[in-house]
Amino acid sequence: MIKTQWIQFAHGRAEKIVADITADMPHLTQTGRVNTNIGQQFSYRWYLDAGTETFLFAAQFAMAFFIFGLTARFALETSGEGWESHQSDYPEPFR
Q: Model confidence over 66-92: pLDDT tens digits? A: 888 888 876 666 656 667 776 676 666
Is residue 58 packed enough to be buried (19+ CB in 10 Å), middle (13-18) or exposed (0-12)?
Answer: buried
- Cβ-contact 8, 83 below 8 angstroms: no
| pLDDT at residue 2, rounded to an integer | 79
| pLDDT at residue 75, rounded to an integer | 66
pTM attached to this predicted model: 0.68
Quote the mean pLDDT of the chain.
Answer: 78
| pLDDT at residue 77, rounded to an integer | 65
Q: Model confidence over 23-45: pLDDT tens digits? A: 888 888 877 667 766 556 788 89
